[in-house]
Amino acid sequence: LSRCSYDEPSDPYIEVILEQNLRGERCAIQRYQEIADFTRGKDYTTHQMAVSILNDEIEHENDIEDWMNDIRRMKEEFRKIRL
């Protein structure tokens, strides 16, 4: 069963949506890590699937963090220009 809830975006602001997505990715990472740990040494196929999905989720987390950092840097640069 999924332990991760889905938060429907209620605010169209990109930073809010990215933060919601980041929370979802982190929940998925935790869940797939639990599945990988549980199946290690017991069910090779399920373990490999969980690890593969876990790696995808970690990549998604990194992408979202990079986008959020890019937005922060852009905002800082815009502030410098405006001063």
Based on the structure, what is the number of domains in the chain?
Answer: 1
What CATH number is given to the structural domain containing 27? 1.20.1260.10
pLDDT by residue for the chain (83 residues), tens only, comes to 568 888 788 888 999 999 999 999 999 999 999 999 999 999 999 999 999 999 999 999 999 999 999 999 999 999 999 87
d(CA 25, CA 48): 19
Inside any domain, residue 8: no
Q: Which residue has the tokens 């593969």?
A: 52
Inside any domain, residue 23: yes
**What pLDDT digit, counting tens, does each position of 37-46 carry?**
999 999 999 9
d(CA 24, CA 31): 11
Inside any domain, residue 19: yes
pLDDT value for 1: 56
pTM of the model: 0.86
Residue 43's H or E segment, with its range, is none
